[in-house]
Amino acid sequence: MEKIWDLVALGEALVEFNQTQPGEPQYLQGFGGDTSNTMIAAARAGARVAYLSRLGQDHFGQALLDLWAREGVDSTAVERDAHHPTGLYFVTHGSAGHEFSYLRAGSAASHMAPAWLLGAPAPLLQQCRILHVSGISLAISASACDTVFEAMRLAREAGAQVAFDPNLRLKLWPLARARACISEAVALCDIFLPGQDDMEALLGISAPGAIADWGHAQGARTVVVKLGKEGVLLSAAGQRQRVQGRPVQAVDATGAGDCFDGNLLARLALGDDLARAVRYANAAASLAVQGFGAVAPLPAAAEVRAVL
């Protein structure tokens, strides 16, 4: 089947309220959700992208649809739910740094179920080059977890590659369940995108080479270990390469991993080899951490090319 979409992602998008001053009750509305951030980053990199999710039949759901329309992210298969709300989160600031508070329990996205994939999402899963999912998508509910696994199966059956970022959030689920579900997801993916900190929390391993070994042992053909300011280790086809981070004045790392994922997958879908795509994504993430928020500082392709 013709591959109309470079990338499709499945997950939960959220509306953000970020405190403008510590201790003050004023909040600036923004947007978040790891897989949504990733698709926006990929669209800005020039990829043809679509998003699969469920939203409440509320103002916040419409705000997300409007965001995707502005960003060139196709949302025609996003389902609206009149009975469950769009997820929200709040960012507060204090002496210990910033803190996230989530209002996502029982959200519309958490009520996704595998049967939904056989409707409007089915053509997108059949017509994409790469499907991207994350550990957060697995964690928000048992039915969402089942839906992610089914989407991975359907995409691979249609000839797509599957990319998976564990994006561990232990506030969402117990460690033992996270280990079991993430291990299963890695076995079903082609491109594994772990962060070093996540893997230390999940498995107690922090050496980049050991993380790559674990990913390959589960079944992933390509492993790209994100090391923050230290750069990236890429491992595929028996070869490993370290790409150093770009020294920049970072002000906010929110969404940096999502930015990296989106740019990496976009460049792979557009024909770059792995090493070239990693260097591009590394540069994009170094630009994103120089601005505030998850979405606003995601760079356009021309900005990334300028620093490369």
Residue among 234, 245, 292, 299 nearest 268 (CA): 234
Mean pLDDT, the chain, as a whole number? 94
Averaged over 249-264, what is the pLDDT? Answer: 85
β-bridge mates for residue 100, sequence order: 91
pLDDT score at 299 = 86
Q: What percent of the chain has pLDDT over 90?
A: 80
Question: 245: pLDDT confidence band, cut at 50, 70 and 90?
Answer: confident
Give percent of the chain with pLDDT exceeding 70.
Answer: 99
What separation, in Å, do the N-terminal and C-terminal C-alpha atoms of the chain show? 35
pTM (predicted TM-score)? 0.95
Q: pLDDT tens digits, residue range 57-69?
A: 999 999 999 999 9
Judge contact between 228 and 248, C-beta under 8 A: no
**146-204 residue pLDDT tens:** 999 999 999 999 999 999 999 999 999 999 999 999 999 999 999 999 999 999 999 99
pLDDT tens-digit map of 114-160: 999 999 999 999 999 999 999 999 999 999 999 999 999 999 999 99
